[in-house]
Structure 1
């Protein structure tokens, strides 16, 4: 906390009335500037528009290397490189509790239009599992940007060749599978749904949660787990480098980014799961502030640079504005509740 030292005036040197009035006028003239410095310029202009007055902070609610981190850093970099925003864009990582630590941080900054966070299915699933004090209703939807799919990974030298083999290992017992989020959240649900569709009991899977897909893949590479489930975009580099293999992808058909990886559907496993990726903001934002970001990210996804990055990361365009994204979140929560019930996780 900054303390301001105020020195007292020596006795007998009191200012004259004219001097005091002149000082008051100077303070009055400076007041708008002082208010602006204190943040009042965050308000909406007379013409109903708003623009940021200081650097934008995008929170990734996980450690570096995972899908949230990739989305946050890709968005921040391209917003600046494409000169879509006058302010700088900074990324901060708030890992822990499957995203709940980051969400708590954003919730404590209600009304701050200079803070955003990237999001995906865990914003729905983690609260449904009772592992977060905040759910999507506590935040402001800004835009859905893209979608991705889950891949089911094994070590490069693993005897597991297909998802059916993986399901058989689970049924045999003791087979450990790492995921980047807690029990009952995105990675776990994507695994449980696929196992059930393959004829295995999801409850028999030894699911090991990590803070983000990056940590789950590191555990697989280190031999600490026998398989991992994470987003295709997160695993793309590792798969292409031959450091691990994907025995299935949760897309309806093969992905252009991973043409050698068979879909679950192709393996006669009737299950798909997509990872939508978007941006949200704290609660209590002005409509003009939401509109600013909605348009900003709408412009971003139309740039050639974004489209090239999306193709490289295995993302598919799935833009939605604020209102549509909010409705989508409500509908998807209901769908997830059905899945969780079906696989015995709720």
Structure 2
């Protein structure tokens, strides 16, 4: 308990005015196995990890906690569209370096990622695995991490009251 998806469920519980019995079933693959076996009834998860189960009719997506529909999941309504006032920050994946990493190494990596994401061939290859990559600079990534942290802290602080 206490990870990103735990707080996502707490935020959903509050926004939907429902009472969930939250249990930690492990990693995303563990959550999928628990859903398939009927051990749990609800899980937050990335579309890419659940796509096959959605298409097979084994899972139903009740909504995306996003401000707008994404092109990748344009047929899935947002929670807001359905009356649940919840927009939860995306769990961004970043690369981190040790604190003493030189600015030159960080800049080299930053340029590499920026160029890769802008490359049409890379975009096409990534689209084939149904991902939506985008570039954030090191400073923007840090600001985004702070936003996610503050959202989770706000939820945690509200529970302490």
Which bin holds the TM-score, normalised by the shorter protein?
A: 0.7 to 0.9
Deviations 1:72-110 (A, max 9, x none): xxxxxxxxxxxxxxxxxxxxxxxxxxxxxxxxxxxxxxx
Q: Does 1:315 align with 2:145?
A: no
What is the correspondence of 1:59-74 to structure 2 with a 5 Å cutoff? none
| Greater C-alpha radius of gyration | 1
Alignment check: 8 A CA contact 1:184 1:345 kept: no
The yes-or-no answer on 1:200 pairing with 2:15 is no
Note the 1:128-167 alignment, pairs <5 A. none
Q: Which protein has the bigger helix share?
A: 2
More strand by share: 1
TM-score norm. by structure 1 comes to: 0.42
Unaligned runs of 5+ in 2: none
Partner of 2:34: 219
Distance 1:261 1:328, change over 3 A: closer
**SS where residue 208 of structure 1 aligns?**
coil
The structural deviation recorded for 1:220 is: 0.7
After superposition, the C-alpha distances for 1:126-150 in whole angstroms (9 at most, x for unaligned) are xxxxxxxxxxxxxxxxxxxxxxxxx
Could you report, residue by residue, the CA deviation over 1:248-293 in whole angstroms, capped at 9, with x for unpaired residues? 1111233322233221001111101122222212332111111111
Q: How does 1:186-335 map to 2 (within 5 A)?
A: 186-201=4-19, 205-273=20-88, 274-308=90-124, 309-310=126-127, 312-315=129-132, 317=134, 319-335=135-151
SS in 1 for 2:44: strand
Q: State the secondary structure of the residue aligned to 1:248.
A: coil
Quote the Cα distance in structure 2 between the aligned partners of 1:213 and 1:340: 22
Give the CA RMSD over aligned residues. 2.3
**Count of aligned pairs:** 159
Question: For residues 232 and 340 of structure 1, do their structure 2 counterparts lie closer, same or farther at Cα, with a shift above 3 Å needed?
Answer: farther
